[in-house]
Amino acid sequence: MLAVFASSALFGWAQEEPQYKPGENPYQDEFVLKLGEPIALYVEIDGTRFAELTITPQGNVEPGKNVKCQVVMTGARVASGRVEVLPVLLLEDQNGKSLDRLTPAPFKVRGERPFEYKDTITASGDSLAAATKVWVYLEIR
């Protein structure tokens, strides 16, 4: 077992730490959205690193009906001190037309610790079916 680990590290098979780009507070950026698949954020805002965001419908996405979705955001607070994160997610279609505003509850992140934030929100089935992009807004307080 040790030989396998040592050889994988020697040949570069070990997983490398992703590079986090610095972001302004408040942060905003647009990402391709595929429901249920993680979006690689890899941004650091005021000592808080955001790794991935996933929006997953909890049922069938049907036109004319509201759908509960689970929002999961992972990352780590690399600085000391507790902060509050205010997330806002704006769904857009392929032409950039705004479809829906999703506002998960603000959440607190403790200093020098990883986090996994989960919330359940409601979105319209029409918006979810047409969404191909998401604008991610994050404010650190």
> Could you list the pLDDT tens digit for every one of the 141 residues in the chain?
444 444 444 444 556 778 999 999 999 999 999 999 999 999 999 999 999 999 999 999 998 999 999 999 999 999 999 999 999 999 999 999 999 999 999 999 999 999 999 999 999 999 999 999 999 999 999
Residues paired with residue 83 on neighbouring β-strands, in sequence order: 109
Question: Residue 35 has what pLDDT?
Answer: 97
Question: Residue 5 has what pLDDT?
Answer: 42
Distance CA 132, CA 136 (A): 13
Distance CA 91, CA 51 (A): 19
What structural domains and CATH numbers belong to the chain?
A: 21-140 (2.60.40)
Structure-block tokens of residue 116:
């996994």
Question: Residue 123 has what pLDDT?
Answer: 96
Residue whose tokens read 């996933």: 54
Question: Residue 65 has what pLDDT?
Answer: 96
Question: Residue 9 has what pLDDT?
Answer: 45
Amino acid at 34: K
Distance CA 141, CA 133 (A): 26
Structure-block tokens of residue 134:
């998401």
